[in-house]
């Protein structure tokens, strides 16, 4: 399958707007979740979870 890219000016792509308006609220949220996962995978890779941060505090008199 060959990918086709079409460049349009902002506001002139009615098919994109029509697609999103045709979805229910739940379907939009599901699609948004998929897009976020794809972006996070591209940006951060397969790394999961939160980064651990440690801070060492030096006490006076010890």
pLDDT, position 1:
84
Does the pLDDT of residue 62 top 70, yes or no? no
pLDDT, position 58:
83
pLDDT, position 48:
67
Q: Compute the distance between CA of residue 9 and CA of residue 21 in angstroms, rounded to an integer.
A: 19
Q: Where are the domains of the chain?
A: 8-62
Tell me the whole-structure pTM to 2 decimals.
0.53
pLDDT digits (tens, 9 = 90+) for 1-50: 899 888 888 878 788 888 889 999 999 999 999 999 898 888 878 766 67
């Amino acid at each position: 399958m060959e990918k086709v890219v079409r460049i349009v000016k902002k506001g002139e792509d009615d098919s994109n707007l029509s697609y999103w308006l045709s979805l229910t609220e739940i379907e939009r949220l599901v699609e948004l979740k998929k897009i976020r996962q794809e972006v996070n995978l591209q940006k951060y890779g397969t790394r999961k979870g939160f980064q651990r941060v440690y801070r060492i505090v030096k006490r006076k008199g010890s």
